[in-house]
Copies of this chain bind each other. A is one copy, B any other.
């Protein structure tokens, strides 16, 4: 495997859910002869070394990127520019520099400023995740049948784009290429707005008078639970997303607010027909998502069937 690995040295800056999943997947698929990683905290570095997935763990980002032909920043987007500046003098000519951030336009511009000529900046965003974070949270299968969006700047080397696309395909992802600005608009609705709404409603539930926290937890299976999952995502990552994709998020929020006002009015006026018509329409969207394999129709809701059968037999 080593002799034919597409990359000589893969340097992962950061080893959270995404960095850790790339490391595990790239190792399993033989995508790099050598995989190195960095982590900011000594505790995480110790854990990464202990896990034994990568060949070397560095404290210094500069040291990690030396001789690397693929460098992937797996850190909150707010830290990208600073890290780009830090590693720039140490990058090998011809290296591909990428990231995994949920916002692309701001990051692209912030990083591009610092990188030397002869290095290929190809930002990427694997649309996959769980609410867990930290070095133990990753798994090799995270990207299977998920999309990875590449947003190469104008004039990017097609060969470098192709090489990075092949890397993500090998991890199991479907790859799509689009402009950074379009990415940010699409993700504002499919990811950023849902997270903001989920963060809001979970906060609302916690502060109510007349309903205790214990009641909110106990009866969460009525729908609330589905929101808490995404409202448990990494706070630093999400702070940076909203700070760096402000305009698109505010635009989507405006649309959402208008629609919520319409439904609120229908409730206040007791307009059952308007409610029914809306609810029947949204149902078809769900069917579409299940049809293209982005979710399962199985009704396990966090309680795998095997576990239920066991409980039923008790």
Q: Is A55 an interface residue (CB 8 A)?
A: no
Listed residue (A193, A194, A197, A250) with the most chain B CB atoms within 10 angstroms of its CB? A194
Tell me the complex Cα distance, A292–B216, Å.
12
Tell me the complex Cα distance, A231–B283, Å.
6
Q: Is A230 an interface residue (CB 8 A)?
A: yes
Inter-subunit contact A294/B145 (CB<8 Å) = no
Measured between beta carbons, the chain B residues less than 8 angstroms from A192 are 222-223
Stretch of A58-66, A84-92, A301-309 with 4 or more beta carbons under 8 angstroms from chain B: A301-309
Give the number of times this chain occurs in the complex, counting copies. 2
Listed residue (A176, A219, A305) with the most chain B CB atoms within 10 angstroms of its CB? A219
Q: Mark A285-308, 1 if CB is under 8 A from B, else 0.
A: 111110010111111111111001
Measured between beta carbons, the chain B residues less than 8 angstroms from A141 are 305, 308-309, 311-312
Q: Is A49 an interface residue (CB 8 A)?
A: no
Measured between beta carbons, the chain B residues less than 8 angstroms from A289 are 217, 220, 225, 228
Measured between beta carbons, the chain B residues less than 8 angstroms from A278 are 199, 203
Tell me the complex Cα distance, A183–B9, Å.
59
In the complex, what's the smallest C-beta–C-beta distance from A238 to chain B, in angstroms?
A: 5
In the complex, what's the smallest C-beta–C-beta distance from A259 to chain B, in angstroms?
A: 5
Q: Which residue of B is nearest A288, CB measured?
A: B217
Tally of A interface residues using CB under 8 Å: 119
- In chain A, residues 249-298, which have Cβ atoms closer than 8 Å to a Cβ of chain B? 249-250, 252-253, 255-256, 259-260, 263-264, 266-268, 270, 272, 275-276, 278-283, 285-289, 292, 294-298
Stretch of A38-46, A125-133, A157-165 with 4 or more beta carbons under 8 angstroms from chain B: A125-133
Residues of A within 8 A of B (CB): 28, 78, 102, 127-132, 137, 139-141, 144-147, 149, 172, 176, 182, 185-187, 189-208, 210-211, 213, 215-233, 235-236, 238-240, 242-243, 246, 249-250, 252-253, 255-256, 259-260, 263-264, 266-268, 270, 272, 275-276, 278-283, 285-289, 292, 294-305, 308-309, 311-312
CB pairs A–B below 8 angstroms (6 shown) = A189-B211, A204-B252, A228-B289, A239-B272, A243-B270, A249-B267
| Nearest 5 A/B pairs, CB to CB | A191-B222, A232-B286, A130-B299, A235-B279, A194-B223
